[in-house]
C-alpha cells in the first residue's frame, strides 16, 4: 500500500500539483497551491466524497463519508448524526466541549468508521465504543492526554496503524498480540529542555512481540532492565522481518551481540534509531555486519557513547540522514563518513564530538544538503576545503559556546541559502557583526540569501539584529 501511495505522490510532484517542503531524505511535508486546494474541496463536496472545515459554519450532508475538522472552538454537534462516516479526522486544539462531542459520536452509531484520527483531542481515556468499531484500520491518538490502552484493544482485529505518539501511555496490554494485521505501532514521547531536544522515551513491549509478523514501523520499544528480558526482547525484534522503521531505547553495551544478530535479519529496514540506557552509556556497534545487511537503510540515528564510527557505516550506500548524539568522539569522525554517496543531512549533536576542530576535506560529502552542529561544548574551529560539500544549502550552528569564528572556507560553499547561528556567545555575534560592517560586499557570507542569529529567551527563539 505504501509503495502505491508513494507512486501517486511522485506523479503529483511530477505534474507540479504539489511541492515538497523538505528536500532532505524522504519527503514528509508538502505544499499545495490554493487553487488546487479549492478545486479539490469543491469536487469532494460535489461528489460527496469528503468535507474539510475549520472555524465557521461548514455545510455537509448527513451521509458524508469522510470528514476532516480542525481548529474548532465550538464543535458542531451535527457530526454525531453522520452514521455513514468512514473517516473522521480531528486536528486540535479544541476546548473541553470536544470531549463530550467525541463521546457522542462514538455512541451515535458511526459503526462503519475505518479511520479515526483524534490528534490533540481533549480526552484522557479512549471511549469504550471505539473498541466496537470492528472495521477500524487506523486509530490516531497523538498528542492526547490518554494514559492507558485497555485490553479491549484486541477486539480491533483489522487495525493496521496505532499512533500513540506523545501520549501518556508507557506500556501495552498483551492483547495487542491479537492484532495480526498491525503494520505501524508508534508509541513514544519526546523530551525537550529550553528548546533543545533531550531524548525520547519508549514503551515497555509486551511478551512475544515477534508474533506481530506484519509490523513495518515499531517506534520506540524500551528494552527491559533485567538482562534476560532484554535479550529476549532483542531476539523478538529479529522475528519482525518486515520492519522498515525501528526505534529502540534503553540499550546497554552488553546487548550488542544480540542486536547484531537481529539486525542481520531485518533486510527491509529503512530507518534505525538507537538510544542508550542512560547518558554516557556505551553502545556496542563494533561487530561487523555483512555488506549486504541493511541495503535500504536511509536514516541512522545513534544516541549514546561510541568508541568510533561503526566500521560498517561506510557501506550504507542508501543512507541519506545521519544523526549522532552523545557519541563523545575524541578524533574527527568526518573522514569515515565523507564518502557516503547519498548522504543529504548530517547532524552532530550534544557532545557527539569532544575535539576542538572539525575539517571538511576536498571531495567529501558530495551530495550533502544540510549540516548542523548542536551543543558541541569543545568545538572551536571548523575548516572547509574548496571542493567539499558543493551542494550544501543549509548550515545550522547552535549552542557551540567556544566557537571562535564562523567556519573558515565557508565562502567556498556557493549554493548556501541559509546560515543559522543560535545561542552563541556574545563575542561570536559581535565578531560576526563587525566583519559584516567592515567587509560589506566582500563579507564571507555576502553570497548567502539568509543569515540569521537567534538566542533562546524563556524557551523561545528570538531573532537578533545582524
pLDDT digits (tens, 9 = 90+) for 239-292: 999 999 999 999 999 998 999 999 999 999 999 999 998 888 899 887 767 767
**Residue from 134, 124, 72, 74 nearest 103 by CA:** 124
Question: Residue 277 sits in a domain of what CATH number?
Answer: 3.80.10
17: Cα separation from own chain's centroid: 25
Q: If pLDDT is split at 50, 70 and 90, which confidence band does 43 have?
A: confident
Same domain, 229 and 264: yes
| DSSP H/E element including 20 | strand 18-20
pLDDT of residue 270: 94
**Under 8 Å between Cβ of 237 and 248:** yes
pLDDT of residue 288: 66
**Under 8 Å between Cβ of 452 and 436:** no
Across the chain, mean pLDDT equals 88
**Residue for grid cell 543512507:** 319
**Under 8 Å between Cβ of 320 and 343:** yes
What average pLDDT does the segment 109-134 reach? 87
Query: What is the extent of the structural domain holding 273?
Result: 188-319
Q: Three-class SS of residue 175?
A: helix
Q: What is the pTM of this model?
A: 0.91
Same domain, 340 and 313: no
Q: What is the CA radius of gyration of the chain?
A: 25
Please report whether residue 1 resides in a domain: no
Please report whether residue 463 resides in a domain: yes
Domain count, the chain: 2
Please report whether residue 26 resides in a domain: no
CA torsion, points 172, 138, 92, 111, in degrees to nearest 10? -110
Please report whether residue 146 resides in a domain: no
Sheet strands (E) in 295-369? 299-303, 321-325, 345-349, 357-360
**Under 8 Å between Cβ of 271 and 299:** yes
Residues with Cβ within 8 Å of residue 11, at least 6 apart in sequence: none
Same domain, 377 and 460: yes
Cβ neighbours around 284 below 10 Å, total: 18
Same domain, 413 and 401: yes
What average pLDDT does the segment 400-425 reach? 95
- Sign for the CA dihedral angle at 223, 229, 234, 237 comes to negative
Cβ neighbours around 213 below 10 Å, total: 11
DSSP 352-368: SB-SSEEEE-TT--TT-
Count how many Cα atoms sit within 13 Å of the Cα of residue 362 in the half-sphere of its side chain.
4
Same domain, 257 and 327: no
Measured CA to CA in angstroms, residue 11 lies from 16, 34, 292, 399 at distances of 9, 19, 31, 41
Q: What is the DSSP letter of 241?
A: T
**Residue from 349, 339, 341, 394 nearest 369 by CA:** 394
Please report whether residue 254 resides in a domain: yes
Same domain, 281 and 303: yes
pLDDT at 138 over 90: yes
DSSP 65-112: SEEEEES-SS--GGGGG-TT-SEEEEES---THHHHHHHHHHHTT-TT
Cα distance between residue 308 and residue 335, in whole Å: 12
Same domain, 314 and 422: no
Question: Cell digits for 94?
Answer: 479544541
- pLDDT 10s digits, 361-374: 999 999 999 999 99
CA torsion, points 206, 211, 212, 214, in degrees to nearest 10? 160
Question: Cell digits for 122?
Answer: 481533549
- Least confidently predicted of 119-128, 229-238, 259-268: 119-128
**Under 8 Å between Cβ of 206 and 235:** no
Cα distance between residue 208 and residue 239, in whole Å: 10
Last residue of a domain, one of 296, 319, 342: 319
Q: Three-class SS of residue 259?
A: helix
Same domain, 208 and 337: no
- pLDDT 10s digits, 60-79: 777 888 888 776 555 566 67
pLDDT at 54 over 60: no
Last residue of a domain, one of 319, 337, 356: 319
Measured CA to CA in angstroms, residue 167 lies from 88, 200, 217 at distances of 20, 13, 18
pLDDT of residue 278: 86
Amino acid at each position: 500500500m505504501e509503495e502505491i501511495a508513494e507512486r501517486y505522490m511522485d506523479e503529483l510532484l511530477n505534474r507540479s500539483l504539489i511541492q515538497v517542503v523538505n528536500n532532505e531524505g524522504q519527503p514528509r511535508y508538502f505544499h499545495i497551491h490554493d487553487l488546487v486546494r479549492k478545486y479539490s474541496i469543491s469536487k469532494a463536496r460535489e461528489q460527496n466524497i469528503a468535507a474539510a472545515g475549520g472555524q465557521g459554519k461548514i455545510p455537509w450532508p448527513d451521509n458524508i463519508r469522510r470528514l476532516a475538522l480542525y481548529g474548532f472552538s465550538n464543535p458542531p454537534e451535527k457530526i454525531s448524526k453522520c452514521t455513514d462516516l468512514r473517516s473522521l479526522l480531528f486536528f486540535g486544539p479544541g476546548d473541553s466541549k470536544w470531549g463530550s462531542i467525541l463521546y457522542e459520536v462514538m455512541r451515535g452509531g458511526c459503526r462503519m468508521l475505518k479511520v479515526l484520527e483524534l490528534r490533540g483531542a481533549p480526552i484522557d481515556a479512549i471511549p469504550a465504543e471505539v473498541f466496537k468499531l470492528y472495521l477500524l484500520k487506523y486509530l490516531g491518538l497523538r498528542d492526547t492526554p490518554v494514559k492507558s490502552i485497555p485490553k479491549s484493544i484486541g477486539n480491533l482485529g483489522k487495525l493496521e496503524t496505532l499512533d500513540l505518539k506523545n501520549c501518556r501511555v508507557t506500556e501495552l496490554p498483551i492483547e495487542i498480540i491479537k492484532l495480526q494485521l498491525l503494520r505501524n505501532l508508534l508509541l513514544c514521547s519526546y523530551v525537550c529542555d529550553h528548546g533543545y531536544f533531550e531524548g525520547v522515551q519508549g514503551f515497555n513491549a509486551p511478551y512475544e512481540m515477534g508474533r506481530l509478523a506484519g509490523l513495518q514501523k515499531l517506534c520506540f520499544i524500551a528494552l527491559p532492565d533485567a538482562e534476560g528480558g532484554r535479550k529476549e526482547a532483542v531476539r523478538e525484534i529479529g522475528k519482525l522481518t518486515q520492519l522498515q522503521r525501528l526505534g529502540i531505547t534503553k540499550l546497554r553495551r552488553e546487548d550488542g551481540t544480540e542486536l547484531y544478530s537481529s539486525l542481520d535479519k531485518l533486510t527491509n529496514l529503512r530507518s534505525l534509531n538507537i538510544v542508550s540506557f542512560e547518558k554516557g552509556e556505551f553502545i556496542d556497534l563494533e561487530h561487523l555486519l555483512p555488506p549486504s545487511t541493511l541495503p535500504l537503510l536511509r536514516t541512522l540515528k545513534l544516541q549514546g557513547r561510541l568508541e568510533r564510527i561503526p566500521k560498517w557505516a561506510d557501506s550504507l550506500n542508501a543512507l541519506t540522514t545521519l544523526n549522532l548524539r552523545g557519541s563523545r568522539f575524541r578524533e574527527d569522525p568526518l573522514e569515515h563518513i565523507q564518502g557516503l554517496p547519498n548522504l543529504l543531512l548530517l547532524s552532530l549533536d550534544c557532545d557527539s564530538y569532544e575535539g576542538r576542530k572539525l575539517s571538511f576535506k576536498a571531495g567529501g560529502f558530495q551530495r550533502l544538503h544540510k549540516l548542523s552542529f548542536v551543543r558541541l561544548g569543545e568545538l572551536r574551529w571548523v575548516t572547509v576545503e574548496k571542493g567539499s560539500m558543493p551542494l550544501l544549502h543549509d548550515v545550522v550552528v547552535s549552542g557551540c559556546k567556544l566557537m571562535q569564528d564562523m567556519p573558515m572556507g565557508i565562502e567556498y560553499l556557493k549554493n548556501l541559502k541559509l546560515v543559522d547561528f543560535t545561542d552563541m556567545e556574545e563575542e561570536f555575534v559581535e565578531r560576526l557583526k563587525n566583519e559584516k560592517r567592515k567587509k560589506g560586499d566582500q563579507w564571507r557570507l555576502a553570497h548567502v540569501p539568509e543569515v540569521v542569529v537567534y538566542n533562546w529567551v524563556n524557551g523561545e527563539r528570538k531573532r537578533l539584529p545582524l
